[in-house]
């Protein structure tokens, strides 16, 4: 494989991990002024800022690794829908409190396992980003787990609605453990994480918390996919980037 | 199945918790505010999210507000003013040897 292809793979990989953070981070930022209490609003905004911060570091690195002189803003604000390769789970709408908690829980359980491995990447910069992000997502997992336990083991209504959130979002979890061709090639050099190997641990981790929450793991195993590999998104995605990119599209290069 | 029926939840507000933060090793926990939370674990997380965002702390205590017994403002005169004219209770009449350094 040529050096150029390796560079392209690395740029794509770093940007794709960043996309996960940016999109779910943006989704969580949509709770600003809408959360059930000031304490929860702060908690969600802290998570959002962590996730968007992770995206910034990964986009910066993708820009540095590539040879087009791209900056983090180019990745966030000037790419089109099909260029984003986040997992579909990151972009599904906030829904109710249960949907938001379950989405964060599924993603954080994955992130915790993923960043633990990324911290051992042979790429020093990805390893450093992994180590820093791991501390943040460990808290996200704690926060979302505690809430899920309370919703599941709370009242009849909170139990019913939390179970519905789990059932609704379950089909978006499979894509997290699929690998693109670039990821597979980078794995040969120990740069990327073998996410297929994380699935068993994720099932165990999620199963434990759902058990504590008196909630059940869905039995259906048909999974949604398409974004990570080909940039095929849910119908909700266009609205996210319209909102997110408006300023840079309307006033190119604007700074404040 | 869940512990509670929806009808059993009668309070509209979550209970109040007082938050104490230790800013660095060796210093005491200091009261810094309060949070509403359903239970102690959530109160701890909320305190973390609300009061330590700018690296203010290394340790947090949360205490149910209703567990605190407080003195009454109207008792101020009888409780505290009698101490005002008893300066001999301050250790200011001792000579401190130079070798002792700052006390």
Could you tell me the CATH number of the domain that includes residue B18? 3.10.20.520
Residue B34 β-bridge partners: B18
Task: Kindly report the backbone phi and psi dihedral angles of residue B18, in degrees, each rounded to the nearest multiple of 5, phi listed first.
Answer: -90, 140
Write out residues 22-61 of B within 8 Å (CB-CB) of A.
35-39, 41-42, 45-46, 48-50, 53
DSSP class of residue A135 equals: H
Residue B81 lies in a domain: yes
How far is Cα A81 from Cα A235, in angstroms, rounded to an integer?
Answer: 11
Task: Count the domains in chain B.
Answer: 1
Q: Which domain holds residue B72?
A: 13-97
Q: Which residue in A has a C-alpha nearest to residue B36's C-alpha? A: A39
B-chain CB neighbours of A39 within 8 Å are 35-37, 46, 49-50
Sheet containing B29-36: which strands, arranged edge to edge?
Answer: B29-36, B16-22, B59-64
A155 and B6 in contact by Cβ < 8 A? yes
Give the pLDDT confidence of A68-114 residue by residue, as tens digits: 999 999 999 999 999 999 999 999 999 999 999 999 999 999 999 99
Residue B58 lies in a domain: yes
Could you write out the DSSP letters of every residue in A78-118?
A: S--GGG----HHHHS---SHHHHHHHHHHHHHHHHHHHHHH
Are B2 and A152 contacting, i.e. CB atoms less than 8 angstroms apart? yes
Enter the ipTM.
Answer: 0.86
Residue B2 lies in a domain: no
How far is Cα A228 from Cα A16, in angstroms, rounded to an integer?
Answer: 8
Q: Which of A43, A142, A214 sits opposite B2 (nearest CB)?
A: A214
Residue B63 lies in a domain: yes
For domain A3-250, say whether CATH 3.30.2270.10 is its number.
Answer: no
Residue B60 lies in a domain: yes
Residue B73 lies in a domain: yes
| Extents of the domains making up chain A | 3-250
Helices (H) and strands (E) in chain A, counts: 11, 0
B-chain CB neighbours of A157 within 8 Å are 6
Give the pLDDT confidence of B4-47 residue by residue, as tens digits: 666 666 778 899 999 999 999 999 999 999 999 999 999 999 99
């Amino acid at each position: 494989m040529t050096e150029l292809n390796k560079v392209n793979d690395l740029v794509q990989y770093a940007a794709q991990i960043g996309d996960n953070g940016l999109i779910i981070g943006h989704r969580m930022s949509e709770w600003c002024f809408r959360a059930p209490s000031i304490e929860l609003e702060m908690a969600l905004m802290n998570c959002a800022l962590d996730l968007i911060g992770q995206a910034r570091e990964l986009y910066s690195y993708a820009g540095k690794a590539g040879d087009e002189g791209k900056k983090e803003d180019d990745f966030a604000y000037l790419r089109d829908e099909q260029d984003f390769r986040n997992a579909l789970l990151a972009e599904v709408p906030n829904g109710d409190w249960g949907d938001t908690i379950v989405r964060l829980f599924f993603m954080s359980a994955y992130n915790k396992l993923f960043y633990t491995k990324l911290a051992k990447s042979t790429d020093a910069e990805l390893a450093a980003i992994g180590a820093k992000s791991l501390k943040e997502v460990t808290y996200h997992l704690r926060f979302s787990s505690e809430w899920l336990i309370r919703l599941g083991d709370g009242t009849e209504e909170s139990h019913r609605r939390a179970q519905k959130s789990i059932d609704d979002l379950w089909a978006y979890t499979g894509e997290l453990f699929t690998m693109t061709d670039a990821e597979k090639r980078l794995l040969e050099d120990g740069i990327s994480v073998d996410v297929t190997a994380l699935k068993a641990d994720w099932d165990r981790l999620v199963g434990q918390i759902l058990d504590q929450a008196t909630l059940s793991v869905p039995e259906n195993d048909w999974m949604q996919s398409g974004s990570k590999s080909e940039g095929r998104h849910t119908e909700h995605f266009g609205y996210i980037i319209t909102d997110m990119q408006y300023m840079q599209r309307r006033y190119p290069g604007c700074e404040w | 199945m869940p512990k509670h029926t929806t009808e059993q939840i009668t309070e509209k507000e979550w209970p109040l918790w007082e938050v104490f933060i230790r800013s660095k090793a060796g210093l005491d926990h200091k009261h810094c505010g309060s949070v509403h939370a359903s239970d102690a674990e959530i109160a701890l997380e909320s305190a973390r999210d609300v009061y330590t965002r700018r690296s203010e702390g290394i340790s947090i205590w949360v205490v149910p507000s209703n567990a605190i017994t407080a003195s009454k403002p109207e008792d101020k005169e009888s409780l505290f003013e009698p101490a005002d004219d008893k300066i001999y209770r301050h250790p200011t009449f001792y000579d401190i040897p130079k070798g002792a350094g700052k006390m």
